[in-house]
């Protein structure tokens, strides 16, 4: 979440945010809406989001879907400058994030999307 905020607050300094297992329930729809309202114009930034389906992550999907809709409305295109991935069976922990961090970096730095 702090990575997303960093891009929104300092878009000239940061061009991408890797948001793994974003804990949207901390602020709910209000948090999603407020952060989406701060998004920089599409075209120069990339956003990667993901979530699992176990433990804390099991609560994230409706909030992430809301953020995805708001990103799309702001002009961000799936697979181009935004990407959201769901990992069935993955939990909210370092081992799960470590397993997918290479895909995050590939998307943010190289613009490559791993097979889904």
Q: What is the pLDDT of residues 89-102, one digit of tens each?
A: 999 999 999 999 99
| Helices and strands (DSSP H and E) totals, the chain | 4, 3
Q: What is the pLDDT of residues 19-59, one digit of tens each?
A: 999 999 999 999 999 999 999 999 999 999 999 999 999 99
- In this structure, what token pair is assigned to residue 84? 């959201």
Q: Answer whether 51's CB lies under 8 Å from 87's CB.
A: yes
Q: Answer whether 105's CB lies under 8 Å from 71's CB.
A: no
Mean pLDDT of the chain: 95
What pLDDT is attached to residue 115? 54
pTM of this prediction?
A: 0.94
Tally the residues of the chain: 116
């Amino acid at each position: 979440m702090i990575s997303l905020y960093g891009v929104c607050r300092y878009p000239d300094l940061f061009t991408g945010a890797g948001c793994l297992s974003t804990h949207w329930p901390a602020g709910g729809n209000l948090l999603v809406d407020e952060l989406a309202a701060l998004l920089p114009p599409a075209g120069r930034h990339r956003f990667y989001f993901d979530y699992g389906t176990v433990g804390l992550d099991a609560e994230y999907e409706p909030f992430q879907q809301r953020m995805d809709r708001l990103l799309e409305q702001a002009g961000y295109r799936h697979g181009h400058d935004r990407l959201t991935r769901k990992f069935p069976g993955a939990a909210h922990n370092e081992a799960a994030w470590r397993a997918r961090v290479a895909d995050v970096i590939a998307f943010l730095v190289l613009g490559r999307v791993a097979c889904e």
